[in-house]
A and B are shown apart, each in its own frame.
Chain A
Amino acid sequence: MRKLMMAAAMALPMFGGAAMAQETLKIGYIDPLSGGGASVGEVGLKTFQFLAEEVNAKGGIQGKKVEIVPLDNKTNPQESLIQAQKAIDAGVRFLTQGNGSSVAGALSDFVTKYNERNPGKEVLYFNYAAVDPVLTNAKCSFWHFRWDANSDIKMEALTNYMKTVPAIKNVYLINQDYSFGESVRTTAKAMLAAKRPDIKIVGDELHPLLKITDFAPYIAKIKASGADTVVTGNWGQDFALLLKASADAGLKVNWYTYYAGGTGGPTAIKQANLNHQVFQVGEGIPNLDHPSSQEFEKAIRAKYDFSLFYPRAVNEMRMLAAAADKAKSIDPVKVAQALEGMEFEVFDGGKGVMRKDDHQFFQPIYISSLGERTEKEPFDEEKTGWGWKLVAKIDTPATELPTTCKMDRP
């Protein structure tokens, strides 16, 4: 596949001619680059810039150099729409965004309406990290493509693993009080009840988003409930502080998480000394026995001081290139049509598919735990010395969930 891409990329400039090669394919990157969410947004931006360099080194997409246009949305949906409008004025036809389902919902809505009102000037929206299931269900759109597994898919994979662990008896759910936390909590309850009816849900907590400075009261509650396992969708400081408080109180449980690998997460795990007690569900980890992705990991670590947190971004960029090649055009409508149902060898190996029904990408999902490394785990995280270890791999078919999407196609 990749050889084909490279051949196509090298052959195309000859047909395109000099004038066309001058133009660039602009991708508008809309994420927080200032304020509280900026630490996450900047990692994403650098990842995409790195990927753009990779694509450009191979001759670009359809002979055009890829340029990432950073647009600061200050984690605010309204601001994102202004930035999207600005990007479109500047000639951007592809938008990508990931942080915050509220922003994603607003953008998907905006792009759909914009394309309806401005035929011939269509814009595509590539979502690399917003996981609200509604975006590929009730509110799905032809113009929206999602490369991250949505939170239901992740929970499906996670519970498929959890049902095989007999030690899990009492589960405590603690989540942030907003749409994502709510969906983690409801699907966890439903899926665990169906797959392991003997597991007791001993607690179900929602706490305010990013407002808690001391989790000690919540930890006291978890402790009092007698839980042996905690499932949480917490990210950022809500995750780090939760672990910190649990270490202070000496709480001994296993943690099943979505975002333990986010910025500050591994540091918090190491500080709390939770050796292989924190599990994460995701589409890839650095320490997989897959040479090409390990090469990539080495390259990105050499350039920046972070590890690849978004293997899905790699899939996104490579699939964009492949779809453009397949459509022999960078026209957004044709690229969208080419992407529908496209099968692709994903970054960490294995088959992925962009489902036509709802534009959700399905890929192998990995359960991993953070802790001391052996020779099989060459990479550590955040200079802690600890690294991710593969615990289980859930193959693509076992992650597929039905969708309620009824898509309007142009």
Chain B
Amino acid sequence: MLELIVISTLNGVLFGMLLFLMASGLTVIFSMLGVLNFAHASFYMLGAFFGFQISRWLGFWPALLIAPLLAGAIGAGVERYGLRRVHRNGHVAELLFTFGLAFVIEEVVQIIWGKSPVDFRVPALLDFPAFTIFSTNYPAYKMFMLLVSIAIFIGLLIVLKKTRIGLIVQAALTHPHMVGHLGHNVGRIFMLVFGVGTALAAVAGVIAGPALVTQSNMAGLLGPILFVVVVVGGLGSLPGAFVASLLIGLVQTFAVSMNGSLSGAFGPLSPAYASTWLADIWGVTVAQIAPIMPYVLLVLILILRPMGLLGTRDT
């Protein structure tokens, strides 16, 4: 039992930190531009594929640097030539623009790299078990993921609190219109923020690519969960996103490790109901519903505390 708890905690923290790595970019973009970027997970995917391609040519470490820069540049371009144009037509149009963009990016990735997973390997330098706990190995690469996530969290916090751009982003959290009226919304800052946000997603992609699969459906797999993280944590709140990522990572991992079901708790259902829909609910285990837990959390949070866990602005 202890074994399962320790390992589940570790796995949960790892998964949570990966989520945070992606959600951080999304939340920064939202706090500044007020756009829920549906294509954010697509930039995560772009990062993974760029990382794969560049690591083929130059090795993993240059890829970790170049791929996010490339993706960030594309992101900045999207803001400059796409989003800014659409901005006039309101938030729904902006959201739909990113929605269409996600579609296009997925197709383009499929055209270039195909539909099957590509062989993106963990760099040899990190390809060893870091430590063994209860006879389960922990790969060094996962520890590396953890470190990068924490480093980015701290780095972002410093940028937000100590720099001029950070201050503007901070102000945008509470008074988005005021910041605009003060003349700060020079397009360049918007472009920069969008570029940095997408580059962060791409960092997550390069790092997660070798650990998970690098495939053209990877964006669709994680996209909805990112929204859950950002909304639950509080739109635009970086510490909120951090807490929410950890929470969702842990909730999901622990739910998976539980086998309990209503029939386990209260005994089997009387045979009279055995073939009705009640039997389905009765027999479902906690592990089976683990992946829908985040959505339950999302709906509950939005009903009970619409600004999210650590959010300051009402959605």
Which residues on A are within 8 Å of B, measured CB to CB? 36, 38-39, 42, 177, 205-208, 210-214, 216-218, 220-221, 223-224, 237, 240-241, 244, 248-250, 263-264, 267, 271
Question: Chain A nearest CB: distance from B91 CB in Å?
Answer: 28
Please state if A216 and B11 are interface contacts (CB–CB under 8 Å): yes
Please state if B137 and A220 are interface contacts (CB–CB under 8 Å): no
Report how far A206 CA is from B212 CA in the complex, Å.
Answer: 20
Question: Chain A nearest CB: distance from B226 CB in Å?
Answer: 12
Given the contacts A213-B212, A216-B14, A177 and B115 also touching, CB distance less than 8 Å: no
Please state if A220 and B257 are interface contacts (CB–CB under 8 Å): yes
Please state if A39 and B220 are interface contacts (CB–CB under 8 Å): no
Contact bitstring B10-36, A, C-beta under 8 A = 1, else 0: 011011001000000000000000000
Report how far A250 CA is from B137 CA in the complex, Å.
Answer: 6
Given the contacts A220-B11, A249-B136, A211 and B221 also touching, CB distance less than 8 Å: yes
The residue on A at minimum CB distance from B225 is A213
Please state if B212 and A214 are interface contacts (CB–CB under 8 Å): yes
Report how far A230 CA is from B270 CA in the complex, Å.
Answer: 32
Please state if A224 and B3 are interface contacts (CB–CB under 8 Å): yes
Please state if A237 and B291 are interface contacts (CB–CB under 8 Å): no
Report how far A175 CA is from B37 CA in the complex, Å.
Answer: 34
| CB of B40 within 8 Å of the partner chain | no
Interface SS of A by simple majority: helix
Please state if B15 and A214 are interface contacts (CB–CB under 8 Å): yes
Selected A-B contacts with CB under 8 Å, 10 pairs: A208-B290, A213-B218, A213-B221, A217-B12, A217-B253, A221-B257, A224-B4, A224-B7, A248-B142, A271-B121
Determine the chain B residues whose CB is within 8 A of the CB of A224 once the complex forms: 3-4, 7
Question: Chain B nearest CB: distance from A206 CB in Å?
Answer: 6
The residue on A at minimum CB distance from B115 is A39
Closest 5 CB pairs of A and B: A250-B137, A39-B115, A217-B256, A220-B7, A39-B116
The residue on B at minimum CB distance from A213 is B212
Determine the chain B residues whose CB is within 8 A of the CB of A208 once the complex forms: 288, 290-291
Report how far A177 CA is from B139 CA in the complex, Å.
Answer: 28
Please state if A220 and B136 are interface contacts (CB–CB under 8 Å): yes
**Which of B114, B139, B256, B285 counts the most A-chain CB atoms under 10 A from its CB?**
B256
**Which of A210, A237, A271 counts the most B-chain CB atoms under 10 A from its CB?**
A237
Report how far A237 CA is from B214 CA in the complex, Å.
Answer: 10
Determine the chain A residues whose CB is within 8 A of the CB of B121 once the complex forms: 271
Question: Chain A nearest CB: distance from B65 CB in Å?
Answer: 24
| CB of B187 within 8 Å of the partner chain | no
Contact bitstring B195-219, A, C-beta under 8 A = 1, else 0: 0000000000000000111011110
Determine the chain B residues whose CB is within 8 A of the CB of A216 once the complex forms: 11, 14-15, 253
Please state if A240 and B8 are interface contacts (CB–CB under 8 Å): no
Please state if B213 and A240 are interface contacts (CB–CB under 8 Å): yes
Report how far A214 CA is from B10 CA in the complex, Å.
Answer: 13
Report how far A206 CA is from B253 CA in the complex, Å.
Answer: 15
| CB of B287 within 8 Å of the partner chain | yes
Determine the chain B residues whose CB is within 8 A of the CB of A210 once the complex forms: 221
Report how far A242 CA is from B246 CA in the complex, Å.
Answer: 22
Please state if A250 and B136 are interface contacts (CB–CB under 8 Å): yes
Q: Given A36-B115, A241-B213, 11 more contacts at CB 8 Å? A: A36-B217, A42-B115, A213-B213, A216-B253, A217-B8, A220-B4, A241-B212, A248-B137, A264-B117, A264-B213, A267-B117
